Chain A
Amino acid sequence: MRFSLLAVLVSFATPAFGQGQVNVYNWSDYIDPVQLKDFGKQTGIKVNYTTYDSNEILDAKLKSGQSGYDIVVPTASPFFVRQIAAKLYQPLDKLRLRNYQNLDADTMALLGKYDADNRYGIPWMWGTIGIGYNATEIRKRMNNAPVDSLRMIFDPATVSRFTDCGVMILDSATDVLPAALKYLYLDPDSKKPEDLAKAAKVVDAVRPYIRKFHSSEYINALAGGDICLAFGYSGDILQAKDRAAAAPEKRVINYNVPNEGAMVWMDVAAIPKGAPNIDNAYRFLDFMLDPKVAAASSTLTNYANGNAAATPLLAKSMSGNKSIYPNADARSHFYTITAGNAAEVRERTRLWTAIKTGQ
């Protein structure tokens, strides 16, 4: 989900081919390195592990033709859906995955909206998009700030009070426009131009109070005290929280799932068509389904995983943390969106650029 230029420039490396290896293309810092090493030791398979920092890079690589990867981990919507439509994946033979039954039924159902019958992918990590804030700075400016509501971001009277300490919003039409629709109690997945125009108006009204639309800078900015409010990915904000806590200033960063309803994103492991090492790909998928591996990786990333058997292995501070594993009530307000056709995608991107730049 994150997007960084460094990754764009370094990640166009070609993986190696051959026997006894598996070419994994994954997000950076997304799998526990100790477990990964163990997999190599136990199976004798050489893991060519390369990373990316943006879905767009993965998308462009897959769409260029033979990518040479055995495992990739795109985000379910809009990327994985679009890639399924472009017939970029091969259906999974679930009988070859011993750990398949570990998967969480609710998560599988959620993913099923994009991937009917879970034909092509298995859920890896998931999280929400919500509100990250610096508790001290927010309280200083507004004692009873609605920190668990989208009003924090979309209500001009509220967000304007935090302009001086800095507000950032994800630079992503597919993440922010649905949230604005939700704020208006409209269908977050609506592609209707009149609905999108209303959402655009909401974002446009708060734009003067936003320092920047960016999809990764808010991590450092929150942790370093350059901003006090961000609308971003749960894991990123929790990462900022950890960093802030470790720094001498001891800034307190919190993450809240908005009570109007939160968008859920999910990253999915899948095998591209033409993968050169199918057998090893299955062994690696099975490894990812191992509760130990999923739990260790969740601890690393601050994201929830789609592995029911992994939950008991997590520290209470994670499994009991409702910003990571929200309760049933919060879950009932989760929403997802669909990709839309090419014309809709273009219109949305165009609208987003226009809003951001105030054109």
Chain B
Amino acid sequence: MSSKTSLRAVIAVPYAWLAVFFLLPFALVLAIALGTNDPDSVPPVALGFSLENFARLFTDKLYVAAWLSSLRIAAVSTLGCLLLGYPMAYAIARATPARRPLLLMLVVLPFWTSFLIRVYAWIGLLSENGMLNQFLRWSGLSDHPGTILGTEWAVHLGIIYAYLPFMVLPLYATLEKLDVSLLEAASDLGAKPIAAFLTVTLPLSLPGIVAGCLLVFIPAVGEFVIPDLLGGTRTLMIGKVLWDEFFTNSDWPLASAVAICLLVLLVGPIALFQRQQAKSLERAE
């Protein structure tokens, strides 16, 4: 009886957390998003029920362009993370068990330093007189190297760098569980190493790929800090639009509408992922 109550209490904790720190703020943001901007009141919102803010987000071509650009940048960066993270995760999963903790620690190590400082460090590496260009000039590889800083490439580089661990860790988790005898069986049945990878390793690591991609893609869509610091003038992202609406225009309702749309846009893939997870669990039974 008492163990049942304590079990309930344990389950209640995450739900309470979710209610207080997610649902309640979400309801507030939604209420603001349905209101209208009233700059001369405190807070600068007139509550009501207006869908005008949402309509504006999808009709103004500047906002639509910001959405598309954010999705594109997030997608390219996610792909970059995957291409870089997969071999890393694979190598760690195939390393001797004694060495794996060390390699995993190296992946997580950057988290011990502030995110902002790490992104700032890239400015020092990529700027006109930064370490990369100094090296190129010193080594004679290029006399007039271009500047990566301020281009979309720098944004991709920054996002890939910052989010790589979120890709590597779930991939490692699935690859590490992969039964080596399956690969042996594939090889035994005549599969060349590449074919064995494509027909066995890749499909079986799909849950890790999906999890890693979501963990990178979702925050990358709303990313604001990295494009601001490393990106150029032309990098248009929805995170910056949100910032402008909230701070520059002091338009809390429109900023809230952007936030709601971001959330809704990202809940879709998460739900999809959950369904896939449930299916693979079912399969495992």
Residues of A within 8 A of B (CB): 5-6, 9, 54, 56-57, 59-60, 62-65, 82, 85-88, 166, 173, 207, 210-213, 217, 221, 224-227, 341-342, 345-346, 349-350, 353-354, 356-359
| Pair A349/B249 contact, Cβ less than 8 Å | yes
| Pair A63/B44 contact, Cβ less than 8 Å | yes
A287 to B241, CA, bound (A): 40
| Pair B44/A353 contact, Cβ less than 8 Å | no
Tell me if A's interface is mostly helix, strand, loop or mixed.
helix
How near does chain A come to B186, taking the closest CB pair, in angstroms?
49
How many of B's residues come within 8 Å of A, CB to CB? 37
| Pair B42/A86 contact, Cβ less than 8 Å | yes
| Pair B116/A85 contact, Cβ less than 8 Å | no
| Pair B128/A166 contact, Cβ less than 8 Å | yes
B153-189: contact bitstring with A at CB < 8 Å (1 yes, 0 no)?
A: 0000000000000000000000000000000000000
Residues of B within 8 A of A82 (CB): 39, 250
B5 in the interface, Cβ–Cβ < 8 Å?
no
B43 in the interface, Cβ–Cβ < 8 Å?
yes
| Pair B233/A346 contact, Cβ less than 8 Å | no
Residues of B within 8 A of A356 (CB): 233-234
Among A85, A212, A342, which residue has its beta carbon within 8 angstroms of that of B37?
A342
Residues of A within 8 A of B282 (CB): none
Residues of A within 8 A of B127 (CB): 221, 224, 226
| Pair B247/A353 contact, Cβ less than 8 Å | no
A270 to B39, CA, bound (A): 20
How near does chain A come to B34, taking the closest CB pair, in angstroms?
17
Residues of B within 8 A of A358 (CB): 234
Among A57, A63, A166, A227, which residue has its beta carbon within 8 angstroms of that of B42?
A63
Tell me if B's interface is mostly helix, strand, loop or mixed.
loop
A342 to B45, CA, bound (A): 12
| Pair B129/A9 contact, Cβ less than 8 Å | no
A114 to B251, CA, bound (A): 22
Q: Can you offer 12 A-B residue contacts whose CB atoms are under 8 A?
A: A54-B247, A63-B42, A82-B250, A221-B127, A226-B127, A345-B249, A346-B249, A346-B251, A353-B241, A357-B65, A357-B235, A359-B61
| Pair B128/A226 contact, Cβ less than 8 Å | yes
Among A59, A173, A350, which residue has its beta carbon within 8 angstroms of that of B247?
A59
| Pair B129/A226 contact, Cβ less than 8 Å | yes
Name the residue of chain A whose CB is nearest to the CB of B248.
A349
B225 in the interface, Cβ–Cβ < 8 Å?
yes
B107-120: contact bitstring with A at CB < 8 Å (1 yes, 0 no)?
A: 00000000010000
Residues of B within 8 A of A357 (CB): 65, 233-236
B219-263: contact bitstring with A at CB < 8 Å (1 yes, 0 no)?
A: 000000100110011111000110011111111000000000000
A64 to B44, CA, bound (A): 8
| Pair B116/A342 contact, Cβ less than 8 Å | no
| Pair A5/B116 contact, Cβ less than 8 Å | yes
| Pair B116/A64 contact, Cβ less than 8 Å | no
Residues of B within 8 A of A345 (CB): 39, 248-250
A64 to B244, CA, bound (A): 17
| Pair B244/A349 contact, Cβ less than 8 Å | yes
Known pairs A5-B116, A5-B229, A359-B236 / 18 extra A-B pairs, C-beta < 8 Å: A63-B250, A64-B43, A85-B40, A86-B41, A88-B42, A207-B233, A210-B233, A212-B150, A212-B232, A226-B127, A342-B37, A345-B249, A346-B249, A349-B244, A353-B62, A353-B241, A354-B62, A356-B234
| Pair B229/A59 contact, Cβ less than 8 Å | no
How near does chain B come to A216, taking the closest CB pair, in angstroms?
11
Among B116, B128, B244, B247, which residue has its beta carbon within 8 angstroms of that of A60?
B247
